[in-house]
Structure 1
Amino acid sequence: MTRKVCVTTGSRAEYGHMQWLIRDIADDPDLELQIMLTGMHLEERFGNTYKEVEADGFAIDARVPMGETDDSPEGIAAAMGRGVAGMAKALMDLQPDILVILGDRFEMLAAASAAMVTQTPIAHLHGGEATEGLIDEAIRHSITKMAHLHFAAAKPYAQRIIQLGEDPARVFTVGTPGLDAIFRRDLMDKAELENSLGFDLGDHFFMLTYHPVTLSVVDPAQAMNKLFGALDTFPDHKVIITGVNADAGNDRIREAIAAYSDANPNRVLNKTSLGHHRYLSALTLADAVIGNSSSGIAEAPTAGTPTVNLGDRQLRRLSADSIIHCAEQIDDIRAAIKRALDPGFLETAFINEPPYGRGGASTIIKDLLKKADLSNILMKRFHNIPVPT
């Protein structure tokens, strides 16, 4: 009898990370793939990215709109409630043997809550990581306590999962599956990317992705204006800006990006969603990745592109030598970008092995999902670690 593996995703970023895992599950005759989409995938203002899933040839088994009508705390809380109810119903209908969840977004907390009450085992990817200034930290560790199998991106993260009381026998260090897309599919060259985008990228360009810092008291529009001020000191570089996520404060960021791109139509391309193939193609071709997205931490070093990481959003994640952390002030950002372009820096930035591996995680995770003993997996005991007295 085939094992039913349901993969849920609420954003283009999550789907991009799991695209090859989904493919590997679909291609395994011993597994039956189910896909449950929610969150930003089903929202027009975030690009209706469910179409990317369909374009890849995958059937969508359940669509659970969360109705993310605004980015206020009340609006997000209401969306989470709708998500829990809708995903609980979907899980009761689909009856998967296990649910795969990635990361730390509020949509995935809703999915984990629905799985918990429907007694659906959870496999959690990218647990044990640490971030500052974000509600993601609490969400990530909360999902860890609801999950039954854990696939960590690096050994220190696996150790933190065990520190949270999880059974070491259920914790696996596999790397990040998002890297597989760099190696398992031919990426576009610059001419192909320009043709696909309908935009001249010139001789040099930056990639920019900036998301809300959910526990910050700083006006996100002010942070964006400082970033744009720094970018203006590099007028020979064009800029691709990708869409912001649905966290509180996203409206202010999107408005600032729209105003900046409208004022610089020949230099700045503002895309709600590039799609994962174009995104990774641009990532490998850019002179630098700038912003506060996890892709600058995980994918960019493996792609051979330096990262300018702004502020505290990713500060406690493991970082490769090619990542430059800086404060969100014009002079600091300008100096960090200049360093990222310095040939002397680039000579040594990629010598050491990146902390998240060089691909292969998707197949490892698929094989572990296939052979895991699920007979008593819902029964969890807290794994105590001796504490010095």
Structure 2
Amino acid sequence: MNRRRIAVVTGSRAEYGLLAGLMRLLAADPRIELQVVVTGMHLEPRFGHTIEAIERDGFAIAARVPILEDGDSELASARSVGRAVIGLAEAFERLKPAMVVVLGDRTEILGAAQAAMLLRIPLAHIHGGEATEGAVDDMVRHAITKMAQLHFAAAEPYARRIIQMGEDPSRVHMTGAPGLDAIRDLRLKDAPELGAELGFPLEPGPLLLATYHPVTMDPTASVAGIEALLRALDRFPQARVIITGVNSDAGRDAVTGRIAAFSAGRANVLVKDSLGQVNYLSAMALAAAVVGNSSSGIIEAPALGVPTVNIGPRQGGRLRAASIIDCAEDDGAITDAIVRALDPAFRAGWPNPLSLYGQGDSAARIAAILAEAEPCLIKPFRDLGV
């Protein structure tokens, strides 16, 4: 039997955590030959060299495609996309997949989509149709949607938006967010176990889990934003604070430098470039609040019943659960939002279920469709109301 070759592209620790469950299902399916293509931050020691985590999980790497330029300027980002198109096109030409699977809106994924399109390889896209008004990711995501033939949306409004962009409704599937699968399937660690592994006692708390990425639509705002967040965190000396690594977007060096300076000499603060999926979700489940501007505060934290303090415009446009407190990039506003998140009364009015992004069965639904879907390159534009 000829197995269907499906190439899954991953470029960052966060996105790999969302893809890992799907990759395991594809690898176990006798009808499918999984080809894992690794690029971007995974291959860089400065970002934790997280390809090692993929290999520890038992996946064979079909291709390694280094793309990141030195520096964190907009020009470096643009050059990295160019390298991604070239390197991933060469990898796809060698691997000859029947389909390429990508997730999200990172710039290296834009390169993967362009390479697949130009080589006439059908593209499947997970997490399309969403809006993040404060990030270049928004335009990247919608561009990938128009290059893809198969779509897996995390929520019904996002599926409608993909259709609104002219895509065939029969090829748009509302499967939920893959990040919720791990919450359901993984064994998360308790505070003593996680604290011992990190060498950072988590008790007494409260524990605050913080992530802050550059605001790519306004890079100058990133410095003001991280400084405001750090001033706010400093007002909770009784808290244990874990700050996770910054992504590779333009402006990262300034954000990383300020985090490093803040953590120096503060025994209640731990900075980790990469916690790994299990440790990250374990820390999130144990946290009194998730603070910052990461999508995990919008999607995964509500599924764990953890309050989120969402800072600034980066996640503007995403669906919001009742557990999310939006605030400006101002230390006073962030402080007030953290105080509110720590108040037990804040949780009292939450609906059940809280999550808006599915039931934790996304990977199985996506894998079943990928195994059966007929590859199709031609996609007429579907006008609405005509």
The CA distance in 1 between the partners of 2:91 and 2:160, in whole Å, is 33
The CA distance in 2 between the partners of 1:63 and 1:358, in whole Å, is 33
Aligned to 1:98: 99
The CA distance in 1 between the partners of 2:295 and 2:364, in whole Å, is 22
Q: Which residues of 2 match residues 267-286 of structure 1 at below 5 A?
A: 267-286=268-287
The CA distance in 2 between the partners of 1:349 and 1:12, in whole Å, is 30
Aligned to 2:378: 379
The CA distance in 2 between the partners of 1:252 and 1:352, in whole Å, is 39
Quote how far apart the aligned CAs of 1:263 are.
3.1
Gaps of 5+ in 1: none
The CA distance in 1 between the partners of 2:74 and 2:22, in whole Å, is 33
The CA distance in 2 between the partners of 1:245 and 1:163, in whole Å, is 30
Q: Is the CA contact (8 Å cut-off) linking 1:292 and 1:309 kept in structure 2?
A: yes
Q: Is the CA contact (8 Å cut-off) linking 1:66 and 1:83 kept in structure 2?
A: yes
Q: Is the CA contact (8 Å cut-off) linking 1:37 and 1:64 kept in structure 2?
A: yes
The CA distance in 1 between the partners of 2:359 and 2:365, in whole Å, is 13
Does residue 248 of the first structure (1) align with residue 247 of the second (2)? no
Pair 259,10 (structure 1): closer, same or farther in 2 beyond 3 Å: same
Does residue 143 of the first structure (1) align with residue 144 of the second (2)? yes
The list of structure 1 runs, each at least 4 consecutive aligned residues, that deviate by more than 3 angstroms after superposition, is none
TM-score, scaled relative to structure 2: 0.98
Quote how far apart the aligned CAs of 1:238 are.
1.0
Aligned to 1:202: 203
The superposition leaves residues 267-323 of structure 1 with CA deviations (integer Å, 9 ceiling, x where unpaired) of 100000001110011010011000000000000000111100000111210011111
Aligned to 1:64: 65
Q: Is the CA contact (8 Å cut-off) linking 1:301 and 1:320 kept in structure 2?
A: yes
Q: Secondary structure at the match of 2:281?
A: helix
Quote how far apart the aligned CAs of 1:220 are.
2.1
The superposition leaves residues 359-379 of structure 1 with CA deviations (integer Å, 9 ceiling, x where unpaired) of 0000000000011112xx001
Q: Which residues of 2 match residues 160-179 of structure 1 at below 5 A?
A: 160-179=161-180
Does residue 237 of the first structure (1) align with residue 236 of the second (2)? no
Gaps of 5+ in 2: none
Quote how far apart the aligned CAs of 1:136 are.
0.7
Q: Which residues of 2 match residues 125-136 of structure 1 at below 5 A?
A: 125-136=126-137
Pair 217,6 (structure 1): closer, same or farther in 2 beyond 3 Å: closer
Does residue 216 of the first structure (1) align with residue 218 of the second (2)? yes
Q: Secondary structure at the match of 2:78?
A: helix
Which moves more between the two structures, 139-148 or 341-350?
A: 341-350
Quote how far apart the aligned CAs of 1:381 are.
0.5
The superposition leaves residues 84-128 of structure 1 with CA deviations (integer Å, 9 ceiling, x where unpaired) of 100000001111111000001101000001101111110000000
Q: Is the CA contact (8 Å cut-off) linking 1:8 and 1:38 kept in structure 2?
A: yes
Quote how far apart the aligned CAs of 1:217 are.
5.0
Quote how far apart the aligned CAs of 1:353 are.
3.7
Q: Which residues of 2 match residues 209-358 of structure 1 at below 5 A?
A: 209-264=211-266, 266-358=267-359
Quote how far apart the aligned CAs of 1:248 are.
0.5
The CA distance in 2 between the partners of 1:300 and 1:353, in whole Å, is 10
Aligned to 2:39: 38
Q: Is the CA contact (8 Å cut-off) linking 1:321 and 1:352 kept in structure 2?
A: no
The CA distance in 2 between the partners of 1:67 and 1:83, in whole Å, is 8
Q: Which residues of 2 match residues 24-35 of structure 1 at below 5 A?
A: 24-35=25-36
Q: Secondary structure at the match of 2:322?
A: coil
Quote how far apart the aligned CAs of 1:30 are.
1.2
The superposition leaves residues 307-354 of structure 1 with CA deviations (integer Å, 9 ceiling, x where unpaired) of 000001112100111111011111111111111111111122353441
- The one-letter code of the counterpart of 1:380 is K
The CA distance in 1 between the partners of 2:74 and 2:227, in whole Å, is 24
Give the number of equivalent residue pairs.
Answer: 384
Identity %: 53
Aligned to 2:114: 113
Quote how far apart the aligned CAs of 1:77 are.
1.3
